[in-house]
Structure 1
Amino acid sequence: MKISIEEALEIVEKVTHQGGLSKVQEIVFRQCWEGSSYQEIARNSGYQLGYIRDVGHKLWQSLSKAFGQRITKTNFQRIINQYQLAASCPTDKCQASPASAFSLPTLQQSTVKYKQEWKEIIDVSKFFGRTIELANLEEWIVSDRCRVVSLSGMPGIGKTSLAAVCAEKIQHEFEYLIWHNVRNAQPIKELLAEIIIFLGQQPGIELPQTIDGLLACLMKYLRQHRCLLILDNYESVLQSGGKAGRYRDNYEGYGQLLRQVADERHQSCLLLTTRELPISLNVKAGDNLPVRSLQLSGLSPEPACEILAAKGLIFTNKEARELVERYSGNPLALKIAAASIQSLYKKNVSKFLSQDRIVFGEIWDLLEQQFNRLSNREKQVMLWLTNQDPHLLHINENDLPGLSIRNVLEALQSLQQRSLIKNDSFCFTQPNMILEYIKEVTHYKSESSILKFTSVPSELSQVPTLSKKQG
């Protein structure tokens, strides 16, 4: 049974022999015990965020020294509960020295049980770069105790790999870890039931029949235990052919799950990987909020070149930089290209670059799949952007592809959510791979046919769907 916060403070006072905590230390201790982030503590107490972080850091250092093991913001509740359990141990050894008994490995092994369920997690024994992104995720999830974190980006950019590496690194900060791949769009009731049964460790338990009931049951566990829930390939429950981030029919329950986990107070975290942000998260995310979003871009040249070297390719530094730039630092695209260079060009990067066609085979399929998720308006705007100088681009009614300014702005926003365009001070650019793909599409179809824009909204359905020409 978990002890109360007052009992915890009494234990701290007894173990530290310092007459208890200072006023600010007690504020940090109490609110961390309740699951608040440093941002929330700073906001509630009126102190600066940096000061609260510093007080917290010194507090955990002091407690680590007093208790004889590493104590952090995420594990101090469990450590103090274990101390109380050791203090009440009936053996003479425990009664004589609870602090000593508490630090025994045998006691820790019997009381700390990490339960994990990894479904379809990928092998990340070879992982390149992403040190800054990994540090950000760890800080958000472990230190800031964010309730929802999303990893978004275009296909192949490394979302799943980064999430897997992060989960492996921080797994022991959680009592429960659950990894689910929702690629096959599992109905929300089935997903919730599986998670609840795992958390409850009672396979025969009778579960609620409604989504509301299942969510209420899940939230109870998320409040009682420190859980890390990862949902991979979340875009599978989002619709194609419309604005980004909207749910498929009969999958709105996933949005309800996100809203409750994001809005309600608890001590757990939900981590998503997705090609596009769900609309509800886009609104709730913020730098100082318990919901955070990280949009991945391509790898920097150094780790990207490590991918090429691992494949045994032959290249100069200039050739490697050009290849990385052509594929926008996309790790999966680089691996696919490296395999083609191995088999078709005898590992010679120079010969591959000389043929000036980088989008084909699996890379073409990858981009086509993403492009075909777009609405007709988004496709129109993508093709329009291809013919514009991004540094001279101005949105005005006379220079639009048969669409109103509102339509174009909505399409641009939606394309950003899908990571298909970047906006730097209203200078919109497309990743090099996307530009290459569109050039290939216009090569197969006449440009006048592809770029035939209509001014009447009812005629938008006549814009041809862009797909690879057969034969």
Structure 2
Amino acid sequence: MTTQIPQNFVQAIAKERGVTDAELETVFMALDGQATAAIATKLGISDIAVRKRLGEVYKKFQIGGNGPGKLSELRHQLLFLHQTEYGSSDFSPRGKGTLSKIAILSEGFANGQRQEDWGEAPDVSVFYGRTEELTTLNQWILSDKCRLVAVLGFPGSGKTTLSVQLAKQIQNEFDFVIWRSLRSPLAAEEFLANLIQVFSNQQKPLIPADFSANFDRIVVEYLRKHRCLLILDDFESVLNAGELAGHYREGCAGYRELILRLAEVDHKSCLVLISAEEPTELTLLAGEKVRYLKPTISEEIAREIFHEKGLSAKDQEWKELLARYGENLLAFKIVAATVSEFFEGNVAKFLEATGLFIEENISNLLAQQFDRLSGDEAEIAYWLAVAQIPLSLAQLREDMLFKPSLSDSLKNIDSLSRRSLIEKINEGQETVFVLQPLIVKYAAELLADRIRDEILEAIKTQVTDRMQLLKSHKLSANAATLKGAKDNPSLDILGLVKNRLQSLFLKTTGYEAPLNILTTIAADLKDKSVLEVGYAGENIANIISELKSA
């Protein structure tokens, strides 16, 4: 390189800014004075691809403008950063703008004012795509000076990884960078006290117990005087399970006050929330200084994940993979490992052999989310799992024996949306709802397990008092639902129940005795009203029919 900066120093700085290996290789050649055409020839790419890579580097170093001056500005920034870290008397920064900002922050850090506390932030050594999302978040935080930004999405969608990459890119624009996970949350009062200690350079300041006093101190002394980036991961952990989404756990209501006041009070800092569940107040606060983003997976990211494992797939195979695993990056990583290890790298064989594949880690994530649902939300999820196609609100309510009010139905749908479990699709004049593919699979399997348990309990006791789902949910889709439904026998609820019972009966009692008991129960239910037994009679009759046809 013609510059006097060691390559390992440039590499370290570039990685902090989110520069990829391909971009780094290209910029090394450019800094060494090689022309665009020569770089393209050596790397086996086009001139346009070289310029695109360099453009990404300039963007990550916040270098604007046009023409060859950008490379010179990059070299000057790198030289200045190197001299600042290792010291030199013969270097003086020129001009203002980006370099003067770096100089100010470096001076502040030397005086103990600038701090970074990454807490439980995960190490992100590999990062794919997300250029559009990063650009948007950079714009909101640095240019638009948003006070609150939320990154929302289902577990495994990559929101934490995206947020780490974002924070690394913009960290030099802040006097304080603080990352905290709320997976094991403190009370809001304790959390604020902890922040004051961090802002006070880990000293033991006098900290009042009062929430308002602590909040006012943080805002007046730190968030207004300094540019602070505060990131709270796993925010859903302070929200309550078993009721509609977005409501706070006992002892955690102070976090709601924290969000409201940080969003509304004037300051020059930014709070970034990372959550699988959207707090109720976020929609009301959204505006000029409060925004939220729900990252979506792209085929580009999925292909990069597979490419890292040395895998490739045809266009139709990609279409099937994206349809099955939706926006779950964790699922794609696990599928790529499974294809590589058990299917000799053959994606087609994997798709043919597995159907919708849910590995244990994914299953645990799905269970954690499903366990957070209220009873009414779970009922809707089960109905959508039975249907397996998008349903309108009217279709969804059609077969419910005890229909909730329209207002309550809308609240439940909205709550599922806040959890990123349900998608809204506009079809002409009608809005329909569908579960994420992995949730459909999980809900169908869970429903089948619980129906099996109710059947076994009925066979054991020969009474129907403990039947719940057998009474409340019609397991065979009605004609309106079946119209246009996809043929997906692997998720047919009656088929799943039959398979579970069939396997159990073959290993234990055989078919005859349990079928006789079920037939007797079905006969007893036949003459009872729907209000008394719901769908239990129809469901048991259909299960008997399935078992006899096996």
Normalised by the length of structure 2, the TM-score is 0.61
Paired residue for 1:322?
320
Report the CA distance shift for 1:104/1:421 in structure 2 as closer, same or farther (over 3 A).
closer
- Amino acid corresponding to residue 280 of structure 1 in structure 2: E
Write the deviation string for residues 95-152 of structure 1: whole angstroms up to 9, x where unpaired: xxx989xx89997576342321111211222111221111111111111111111011
Paired residue for 2:40?
none
Task: Output aligned runs, 1:372-383, within 5 Å.
Answer: 372-383=371-382
- Residue 389 of structure 1 deviates from its aligned partner by 7.2
- Amino acid corresponding to residue 176 of structure 2 in structure 1: Y
- SS of the aligned residue for 2:274 comes to strand
Paired residue for 2:137?
137
Task: Output aligned runs, 1:118-197, within 5 Å.
Answer: 118-197=118-197
Report the CA distance shift for 1:414/1:106 in structure 2 as closer, same or farther (over 3 A).
closer
- Residue 336 of structure 1 deviates from its aligned partner by 1.7
State the alpha-carbon separation in 2 of the partners of residues 315 and 424 from structure 1: 28
Paired residue for 1:411?
412
- SS of the aligned residue for 2:206 comes to coil
State the alpha-carbon separation in 1 of the partners of residues 129 and 163 from structure 2: 13
Q: 1:453 aligns with which of 465, 472, 490?
A: 472
Task: Output aligned runs, 1:231-246, within 5 Å.
Answer: 231-246=232-247
- Residue 414 of structure 1 deviates from its aligned partner by 0.2
Relative contact order, CA 8 A, sep 6+: which one is greater? 1
State the alpha-carbon separation in 2 of the partners of residues 293 and 442 from structure 1: 33
Report the CA distance shift for 1:110/1:415 in structure 2 as closer, same or farther (over 3 A).
closer
- Residue 398 of structure 1 deviates from its aligned partner by 4.4
Percent identity reads: 36
- Contact 2:423/2:434, CA 8 A, preserved across alignment: yes
- Contact 1:304/1:329, CA 8 A, preserved across alignment: no
Paired residue for 2:307?
309
Paired residue for 1:217?
217
Q: How many residues align?
A: 364
- Residue 261 of structure 1 deviates from its aligned partner by 0.3
- Contact 2:391/2:434, CA 8 A, preserved across alignment: no
Paired residue for 2:444?
439
State the alpha-carbon separation in 2 of the partners of residues 105 and 385 from structure 1: 53
Normalised by the length of structure 1, the TM-score is 0.70
- Residue 233 of structure 1 deviates from its aligned partner by 0.6
Write the deviation string for residues 42-98 of structure 1: whole angstroms up to 9, x where unpaired: xxxxxxxxxxxxxxxxxx99xxxxxxx99xxxxxxxxxxxxxxxxxxxxxxx9xxx9
- SS of the aligned residue for 2:246 comes to coil
Report the CA distance shift for 1:452/1:137 in structure 2 as closer, same or farther (over 3 A).
farther
Q: Which moved more, 1:172-181 or 1:190-199?
A: 190-199
- Residue 202 of structure 1 deviates from its aligned partner by 5.5
Report the CA distance shift for 1:449/1:136 in structure 2 as closer, same or farther (over 3 A).
same
State the alpha-carbon separation in 2 of the partners of residues 352 and 132 from structure 1: 31
Which is greater in Rg? 2
Q: Which moved more, 1:262-271 or 1:302-311?
A: 302-311
- SS of the aligned residue for 1:374 comes to coil
Write the deviation string for residues 443-463 of structure 1: whole angstroms up to 9, x where unpaired: 43438964642999xx9xxxx
Report the CA distance shift for 1:181/1:391 in structure 2 as closer, same or farther (over 3 A).
closer
- SS of the aligned residue for 2:249 comes to coil
- Contact 2:391/2:433, CA 8 A, preserved across alignment: no
State the alpha-carbon separation in 2 of the partners of residues 254 and 107 from structure 1: 35
- Amino acid corresponding to residue 369 of structure 1 in structure 2: Q
- Contact 2:385/2:441, CA 8 A, preserved across alignment: no
Paired residue for 1:54?
none
- Contact 1:233/1:273, CA 8 A, preserved across alignment: yes
State the alpha-carbon separation in 2 of the partners of residues 252 and 106 from structure 1: 38
Q: Which moved more, 1:299-308 or 1:259-268?
A: 299-308
RMSD: 3.3
- Residue 359 of structure 1 deviates from its aligned partner by 1.7
Paired residue for 2:230?
229
Report the CA distance shift for 1:231/1:275 in structure 2 as closer, same or farther (over 3 A).
same
- Amino acid corresponding to residue 209 of structure 2 in structure 1: Q
- Contact 1:244/1:415, CA 8 A, preserved across alignment: yes
